[in-house]
């Protein structure tokens, strides 16, 4: 799966997941049953119907057949603090994920 395809699938999660920015930094979602998601785990659930905890996002990336590089780009772009300290070049990806789930900068 490529990043653009991932973003399209992420956009489709907005009906099942309430997205928000936790502590002003982390893109997170919560389903009506109380499960919490990061962008990768939400798309994984949507595609496989298997709930993966946020801490296991790399496993969810594998299940989605994302490359390890793409998986870690998404993980880093989800966390504003990590993004600023480690991967500043991923701001465009973070913006695209936020736009896909209806969040504003």
* pLDDT tens track for 15-59: 899 999 998 889 999 999 999 999 999 999 999 999 999 999 999
Question: Which two three-digit tokens encode residue 76?
Answer: 């880093």
CA separation for the pair 104, 59 (Å, rounded) = 28
Helices within the chain (DSSP H only): 3-11, 39-48, 57-63, 68-78, 80-86, 91-100
Query: Is 70 part of a structural domain of the chain?
Result: yes
Query: Is 105 part of a structural domain of the chain?
Result: no
Which residue range(s) make up the domain with 47? 3-100
50 three-state secondary structure: coil
Query: Is 20 part of a structural domain of the chain?
Result: yes
Q: How confident is the model at residue 62 (pLDDT cuts 50, 70, 90)?
A: very high
Number of domains in the chain: 1
Query: Is 28 part of a structural domain of the chain?
Result: yes
CA separation for the pair 68, 60 (Å, rounded) = 11
Is the separation of the CB atoms in 39 and 66 below 8 Å?
Answer: no
Give me the pLDDT at residue 35, please: 97
Query: Is 35 part of a structural domain of the chain?
Result: yes
What is the reported pTM? Answer: 0.84
Q: How far is CA 97 from CA 31, 33, 61, in A?
A: 18, 23, 15
Query: Is 56 part of a structural domain of the chain?
Result: yes
């Amino acid at each position: 799966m490529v990043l653009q395809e991932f973003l399209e699938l992420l956009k489709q999660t907005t009906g099942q997941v309430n997205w928000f920015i936790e502590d002003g930094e982390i893109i997170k979602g919560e389903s009506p049953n109380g499960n919490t998601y990061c962008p990768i785990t939400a798309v994984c659930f949507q595609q496989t119907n298997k709930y993966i905890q946020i801490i296991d996002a790399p496993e969810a990336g594998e299940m989605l057949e994302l490359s390890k590089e793409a998986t870690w780009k998404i993980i880093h772009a989800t966390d504003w603090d990590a993004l600023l300290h480690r991967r500043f070049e991923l701001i465009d990806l973070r913006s695209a994920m936020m736009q896909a789930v209806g969040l504003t900068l």
